[in-house]
Chains A and B, each alone.
Chain A
Amino acid sequence: GQQVMQIPQYQHVQEGEDFTTYCNSSTTLSNIQWYKQRPGGHPVFLIQLVKSGEVKKQKRLTFQFGEAKKNSSLHITATQTTDVGTYFCVATLKIIFGKGTRLHILP
């Protein structure tokens, strides 16, 4: 099945700094979904990317799908304390979650 590797596993940033997490696959992905899980909460769907080279924005969050559909990234501009949590990318042919990237914000 399609699986993805996500880096980094942990990231500490100062509030106001930018943050990026990357997803990589050895195979071409049909599409990819991103989820956010707050501490103590459940994963919440953020977005789905389908097209090669696609870029989507949600306020301070920018999602990209690579031209070859083998990688994806999530970039957060000017992080806030509300961004704390673990971000997961999921290849949708088989909904398998990896370890995600845990984001900590330093005040």
Chain B
Amino acid sequence: EAGVAQSPRYKIIEKRQSVAFWCNPISGHATLYWYQQILGQGPKLLIQFQNNGVVDDSQLPKDRFSAERLKGVDSTLKIQPAKLEDSAVYLCASSLRQGGSPLHFGNGTRLTVT
């Protein structure tokens, strides 16, 4: 099966600019996750979707971050405006169902904010 696709692989922007990341999960996977991983730390869950509904966005900085999964398949994560501390790898993962299914991760997008 095709894996989780993410784009772009790398992005460099200046602070206060905006950026968007795209994720295409494994076909048939109902649950989609966005994680932020700062160098040397574990992945931090930003938002979890079940189909096109949000299950958990408690750690999403909603003043600057937004995410959507309109048709229950692809998802986009946006940051506007970016701050220096947003420099991280943004990982998208999908699983067949919520709770108890393995997560399959994409290669991530490495964001550098200067």
Contacts and interface: CB of A to CB of B under 8 A. Distances in A.
Nearest to A86: B42
B56 A43 contact: no
Interface of B: 33, 35, 41-45, 48, 56, 91, 93, 99-100, 102-108
Main DSSP-derived SS at the A contact region: loop
A32 B84 CA distance: 34
26 contacts: A30-B100, A31-B100, A33-B102, A41-B107, A42-B91, A42-B105, A42-B106, A42-B108, A43-B43, A43-B103, A43-B105, A45-B103, A48-B100, A50-B100, A86-B42, A88-B42, A94-B45, A95-B45, A95-B103, A97-B43, A97-B44, A97-B45, A98-B42, A99-B41, A99-B42, A100-B42
A95 B48 contact: yes
A33 B105 CA distance: 14
B42 A97 contact: yes
Contact of A44 (B41, B45, B105): B105
A8 to B, nearest CB: 14
Interface in A59-107: 86, 88, 92-100
A92 to B, nearest CB: 5
Contacts of B100: 30-31, 48, 50, 92
A77 B91 CA distance: 30
Contact of A97 (B35, B56, B99): B35
Nearest to A94: B56
A44 to B, nearest CB: 7
